[in-house]
Structure 1
Amino acid sequence: MNFIHAIFNHILEQDQKLVRDLIFRQLGRAPTVQEFAQFLLNFEGNELVESPRKTLGQTFFENQELRVTLERQQRDMGWLREIHSSLANITQLLGDSNTRAMRRVNELETRYRDLRNISDEVQQQNDRLQLDHNSMQRELTKCHFELEDERKDKQMYQLRWKELKTAKEQLLTDSQQLLTDKQQLLTENQQLLTDNQQLLSDNQQLLTENLQLLTDKQLFLKDKQQLLKDKQQLLTDN
């Protein structure tokens, strides 16, 4: 009965009158509820129309299906709008991330160039120190040869010690002073070598940090490529 009332409420007042007149003409009396319901579901409208028409019940069912389809389509459209909004947000986030990544890459490249310039300057200083060290090494070798010659002279002076005692004492004094000066020179040269080794160690540390920076840059570019692949996969899936 609820179903019958639901259908009957969608019929215009003039159509309701037409239904009552037709059913009374056919039955010659007031219909029962079952007869009225059967007549209402099978009613095809004006009998003067020869072409077949859908029954009121069929039209009602079709309207019900259309309403369900429309509601489903509206839900689907809402879902598609949400997906489109989410994709727009993801695209914006990826764009911002790519901008930050490019800015970071530029900063790392600038820092790498600065470190490379510093490394070149340190290498040039190291080359100059190496030249100075080589020059001092030659000077030290020359001093050793001179000292050896002096020792030979000393042996000769010992043979002539009695005759040249006074000259020998003076020569020994001068030789001792020369040895002191040469020892001082050796000490200074050793300190210079120590400083040079420290500089080489600092240069090696700087090169190690530079390699680490290059490694970090490669990892960063690899992460960026993975992010771009994920973005492409997401767009492909959608």
Structure 2
Amino acid sequence: LSIQVHPDNEYALRVEHEYGKTEMWYILDCEPDSFLYFGVNKEITKEEFERRIQDNTLLDVLKAVPVHKGDVFFIKSGTIHAIGAGIQICEIQQNSNTTYRVYDFGRVGKDGKPRELHIQKAIDVSNLSPIESDFKPCGPEEKNGDCDTVRLASCEYFTTYESTLNGTTTLHVDDESFGSILLIEGSATIENDGTTLEANKGDSVFIDANSGDVKITGNCQWIYSRV
């Protein structure tokens, strides 16, 4: 991925007339020695930030983080970031298309020209202080019968959970938000209001808000997201 950053709502609404973007990444799988970029590795000024973009030394001040299966990266708006090679992720994000490309490794597009950079906007919105994180789930683990659940990340835009099931459990989908299930291991039977779905690893299931109790049976693992 190109080195990029997303603005917050205030800046994006004022400049782009749409919302900003906060997102999270869950590492589904990765090759040995894979890494990604997450913020800066030391405090830098806007002047140094711009200079390093221009002289191709920006990577020297970015935090390169080795990744492992199951790691969680919460990427608040303003966080400079990029996915490296050999990584499969699940991304949950605020619904926005506003991305400022900071650095593109000297690549060119299909037309043979460098892709557009958005340097001044990136300077405006980037957090240039290091961000501390252990890259683990943020919440406590809860056991409910055959199902173990842990909260991965939570913010004003979304909350996500990871659940591991060996048997049967019930998920309640209230009227405040739809539910989204992404099966990341195994297979499951999902039942609600007379509808039965067979889901396998990689399948995504959308559940309408106010669907009530959803019965899930299987030996599987999934990520559940809601507004």
Given the two structures, how large is their TM-score scaled by the length of structure 2? Answer: 0.14
Bigger fraction of residues in strand: 2
More helix by share: 1
